[in-house]
A and B are shown apart, each in its own frame.
Chain A
């Protein structure tokens, strides 16, 4: 029974849950992409789930497990409804930006303006490349015409 009620395991698991919750909090506060904000919210739910299960193991009680099952259910509902709203918002503004809806802000809050935004061309995407290997086979011009499938 001593392996069940172990305080170090409880503390380690609670620390992991706290880290996940804090990272989710930072994510939902800083990020402006609506979908990444929802990912951060789900991460906070994960931290809470880890904490609940840790307490449940420490006390030898099923309450935490049952609560986590309901957290899963509510997270599924929330994701469904929220993603519908995100899609609607995207189809109206063309952006997944939370700042695209800043006309809904309070009257005394300053407007969010992107000042030193680097241009998109400064960060070219780097895709993995393969070293060329082997001999290039001679091309047959008629082959694409004779294929049934591509």
Chain B
């Protein structure tokens, strides 16, 4: 970031000035009965200045923006997820789920996963959710179905979900900052030289954690010291993700491709066989009905 030309201004007065400039420019630009071109020009210039001041203040404020954005998008995701599972109409549930996906994509963007955020929007909201809506339109009975207005064991299910959430929150809250020595990927460990003397510096694992393999234990601190942490916020994010995906995980990509092909063929096969079976049933019942009618 290059330092801004009006650096002596601190962020607070800058933000206040931006707000005031926005108010003034909007008040000048709104129709008020008099048609004065010069006042409009003044309003436009004030608006541009307000935009620049907002951007400068946002840069100056720094981390505050990230937290606020994370709060907003996570609230959107969670509230619309709750609305998804409680809404009576399945069509509304699908649309709430789309909003929840937008919130999840925002969370992923805040976490630095730019490709995944966009891919969530494109794949989930663009393809999978539209497929759900197609099936809903094909298979929706008229009006609200009675099975949409009752639930299966709502109290026990809500209790199970809430208890699971409580336990998960408890374990999340007990996470402590520390050198992540137990969780380094093994391939990176293999690249770093490991000696048996370094295994004595390994911190004690928490109780209940499965003991890692001997090679991991020996090379964990060495990998931690090499500091090869990949910064997901650096430049060329998508290029480096693609390099990782098609480099180390190439076989998995091929397997995923085979899986997609098999799913495609399987879906088509199930559709055609099911339609043939349904047609067979329909002809038999129709001929039986015809026989009974002729009798």
Contacts and interface: CB of A to CB of B under 8 A. Distances in A.
Interface of A: 1, 3-5, 7, 9-16, 18-27, 29-33, 35-36, 38-40, 42-43, 46, 49-50, 53-54, 56-63, 65-66, 68-70, 72-81, 83-88, 90-92, 94-99, 112, 114, 117-118, 120, 123, 125
Interface in B151-169: 151-154, 156-158, 160-162, 164-165, 168-169
Contact of B84 (A40, A77, A99): A40
A66 B229 CA distance: 16
Chain A, interface SS category: helix
A33 B244 contact: no
Contacts of B270: 81, 84-85, 88
Given A11-B175, A25-B164, A77 B260 contact: yes
13 contacts: A14-B168, A26-B161, A30-B152, A32-B150, A36-B90, A46-B124, A53-B116, A62-B244, A66-B245, A69-B119, A99-B152, A114-B150, A120-B144
A88 B274 contact: yes
B25 interface: no
- Of all A-B residue pairs in the complex, the 8 with the closest CB atoms, nearest first, are A60-B229, A27-B85, A77-B263, A26-B161, A29-B157, A18-B168, A22-B165, A97-B147
Nearest to A27: B85
A70 B169 contact: no
A39 B84 contact: yes
Interface stretch (B27-35, B50-58, B70-78): B70-78
Nearest to B167: A18
A43 B104 CA distance: 10
Interface in B241-274: 241, 244-245, 248-249, 252, 256, 259-260, 262-264, 266-267, 270-271, 274
Contacts of A53: 108, 111-113, 116
Nearest to A62: B244
| Residue from B84, B101, B111, B160 whose CB has the most chain A CB atoms within 10 Å | B111
Contact of B230 (A10, A35, A60, A80): A60
Contacts of A74: 256, 259
Contacts of A66: 241, 244-245, 248-249, 252
Contact of A63 (B112, B185, B259): B185
Interface of B: 63, 70, 74, 77-78, 81-82, 84-85, 90, 93-94, 97, 100-101, 104, 107-108, 111-113, 115-116, 119-120, 123-124, 127-128, 131-132, 135-136, 138-141, 143-154, 156-158, 160-162, 164-165, 168-169, 172-173, 175-177, 180, 183-185, 229-233, 240-241, 244-245, 248-249, 252, 256, 259-260, 262-264, 266-267, 270-271, 274, 278
Given A4-B229, A49-B108, 10 more contacts: A13-B70, A18-B165, A25-B161, A30-B152, A30-B154, A35-B135, A69-B119, A75-B128, A83-B132, A87-B271
A74 B262 CA distance: 11
A16 B81 CA distance: 11
A60 B252 CA distance: 21
Nearest to A7: B177
Contacts of B146: 114, 117, 120
B149 A118 contact: yes
A26 B107 contact: no
B281 to A, nearest CB: 9
A22 B253 CA distance: 30
B279 to A, nearest CB: 11
B203 to A, nearest CB: 16
A50 to B, nearest CB: 6
B152 to A, nearest CB: 5
A96 B74 CA distance: 31
B256 A50 contact: no
Contact of B128 (A63, A79, A98, A120): A79
A42 B151 contact: no
A13 B131 contact: no
B164 A22 contact: yes
A40 B270 CA distance: 24
Given A35-B90, A72-B124, A77-B259, A84 B241 contact: no
